[in-house]
Amino acid sequence: MAATFTTPKTPLTWLITGCSSGFGLSLARIVQANGHNLIATSRTPSDTPGLVSEVESKGGKWIRLDVNDSDCDKVLEDLEENGHFVDVLVNNAGYCIYNPVESFTEGEVRALMETLYFGPSRLIRTAVRNMRRRRFGIIVNMSSGAALEANPTMGPYAAGKGALDCMAKALGKEVEAFNIRVLTILLGTFNTGMGNATILGNNPLPEDYMGSMSEKIMEMMSTGKFAPNGDKDKAMKVVYDVVVGEGIGKNHETERALPLGRDLAARVQVVQDYLSHSMEIFGSACNNVFLEEK
């Protein structure tokens, strides 16, 4: 029997990480434009005083939250103690480093995992405990096509996104009985400015990779030739509609994955073909490694 979800109250209180640009800022503006309560966050609010003023002039809050802090979830505890009950947690903050897997430093990999997996996990664990007591809540994770089918030079980024996606699959099954939804947004390439904030790994590209797809991707990202094909504002409007159950989201509250972007649709097909092909080749073996009855 499929789970059912109800929204006991509106407006909702949203907490969104990484609101200083890109998807986070776009969704924050949509949330406020539709009359909801917004708690916007960023690592350094003092870097964006104009945005802070914009949000707070409309009744929202903007607070400092660095998901890399080992106690970042204390922000949620403090909000709860002061009567700000988070209904929707949006894990959006993130970044990518580009390099072949063998060239990453230990520090780079750990830093990516901290931002993309461990930090959001801390926030989720605290948010879910509070949501469970109230028997309502929505966890939204901004993921990527890289978690489905990773391009060269994006191995650790894909690992971080994929780890959170897999955890979310288990979480969704655990908390649906408490009227808590878990929604993973699978995003293609969008005009978020990601190409203007490209970080290449500290280690130089090994000579063997010269002329490879790895070199081409790193060159494209670092020289501003990256050309996304998605509109972030259109995408975030769809995210908003699915979260609140309006528009395309109406009567689809039980859905756990939201794919967005033409290039993402192509990557979904690649994954489907990859699995179908493996079953065509090895399906007989897959189904014949069972324990014989004694």
Residue ranges of domains in the chain, CATH in brackets:
13-281 (3.40.50.720)
pLDDT at position 184: 98
pLDDT at position 193: 77
Q: Which whole number is the average pLDDT over 224-251?
A: 95
Of 11, 132, 14, 130, the residue nearest 74 (C-alpha): 130
Within 10 Å of residue 41's Cβ, how many Cβ atoms?
26
Q: Which whole number is the average pLDDT over 102-124?
A: 98
Cis, peptide link before residue 11, omega less than 30° from 0? yes
Q: Residue 1 pLDDT > 60, yes or no? A: no
Of 154, 27, 152, 174, the residue nearest 92 (C-alpha): 27
pLDDT at position 168: 98
Is residue 166 within 8 A of residue 151, CB to CB? The reply is no
Q: What integer best gives the mean pLDDT of the chain? A: 96
Is residue 187 within 8 A of residue 169, CB to CB? The reply is no
**Confidence class for position 224, pLDDT limits 50, 70, 90:** confident
Summarize pLDDT for 155-207 with one digit per residue, the tens: 999 999 999 999 999 999 999 999 999 999 999 999 997 666 789 999 999 99
CA 112, 115, 118 angle in degrees (round to 5)?
105
pLDDT at position 294: 84
